[in-house]
Amino acid sequence: MKATYNVEAYTSSGRPVLRFKVENTSGAYIELTNWGARWIAAAMPDADGVTANVLMGYKELSDYLNDTYYMGATVGRFANRIANASFTIDGESYHLENNDGENTNHGGYSGFHNKIWQWENLPDGIRFRLFSPDGEGGYPGNVCVIADYRLNEVNEVSIRHCAVTDRATYINITNHAYFNLSGTGKKITEHCLQIPADRILDTTSGFIPTGEKVKVAGTPFDFTFPKPIGKDLYADHRQLAWNKGYNHCYILKEEASSEMVQAASLYESVSGRRLTVQTDLPGVLLYTAGYYEQPDTAVCLETQFYPDTPSHTDFPSCLLQPGTVYEHHTVFGFGIMNLNNK
């Protein structure tokens, strides 16, 4: 395994922004940057052995400094939204940055995606480290965070997030990679997706969970069997209209645990590429990039705790206490489709 890096940009304060490349012996590789601990490229072979990047992003590393789409970013302290940009812990209220109307989204303006992370080499990847001080973004607790990216010889990309705190606080970290297995950036409507979850979280038009868990059977949200993303993407449904496509949390587990489960499988028939996602997290957020400048040209599969968890006592809790460790793991496995399915 070979890891290299180059300085390609600088922040406004003069801190270097690096591009890391981690390559295995087959020639497949991933690229990362210390700006937001982002995953910015994944060059994977197609059925003919031709390697192409299957992540949407920017050509120039400096463009990530002004990114508003969280391209490939490590998102935190809390992935997705918290209603009214506030929560209560042990009777004390905390007010967060309301960067999404009256709500907060993806950690607010002070989120992890807008930080320079420290880094170190791993034998098969890169470890990023970040210190988030007490009160940053309105969140309590001095928090130390690790994001590990590893690439193995069978083209699996492993992402591990860890965090510790000195005060009780909510932590919900995800990676926001934009996948397009064609390697050409064409619309993902013909990508075939399967998510083995029979329910999603119902939301308001402001993308806040109502608390209701809705069965997907008989609706455009049913991906329990492999289905082209475009089949129901433009269906007449208020949830699809509000979200400009899919932007919904699928329920993988009712409780937090270390058990790895399959979150999704994605196929692209022209290239023959396949992506499988396994995680120990309780939910996966399916987002078809309706708000991206090139809508429907990528799909995000964000493994995470449910959105707005602090407001719902029946959701799996992601309240991190001092003396405990937030540690969760997701594996993105790239391969080739079975020819019988092509």
Q: pTM higher than 0.95, yes or no?
A: yes
8 Å CB contact between 140 and 133: no
Name the pLDDT band for 341 (thresholds 50, 70, 90): very low
Phi, psi (degrees; rounded to nearest 5) at 84: 60, 15
Average pLDDT, the chain: 96
Both structure tokens of 94:
């905390």
DSSP string, 168-195: -EE-B-EE---B-TTSS---GGG-EEE-
Residues 299-316: tens digit of each pLDDT: 999 999 999 999 999 999
Which residues are known catalytic residues? 176, 302
Range of the domain at 57: 2-341
Name the pLDDT band for 342 (thresholds 50, 70, 90): very low
- CATH label of the domain that carries residue 158: 2.70.98.10
Residues 243-302: tens digit of each pLDDT: 999 999 999 999 888 999 999 999 999 999 999 999 999 999 999 999 999 999 999 999
Residues 214-246: tens digit of each pLDDT: 999 999 999 999 999 999 999 999 999 999 999
8 Å CB contact between 130 and 145: yes
8 Å CB contact between 36 and 118: no
Both structure tokens of 128:
């990023």
Residues 169-224: tens digit of each pLDDT: 999 999 999 999 999 999 999 999 999 999 999 999 999 999 999 999 999 999 99
pLDDT exceeds 70 at position 112? yes
DSSP string, 2-51: EEEEEEEEE-TT--EEEEEEEE-TTS-EEEEETBTTEEEEEEEE-TTS-E
Cα separation, 204 vs 146, in Å, equals 33
Name the pLDDT band for 339 (thresholds 50, 70, 90): low
Cα separation, 5 vs 3, in Å, equals 7
Helix or strand (DSSP H, E) at 240: helix 238-243
State the pLDDT at residue 1: 78
Both structure tokens of 57:
């992003």
Residues 40-62: tens digit of each pLDDT: 999 999 999 999 999 999 999 99
Number of structural domains (the chain) is: 1
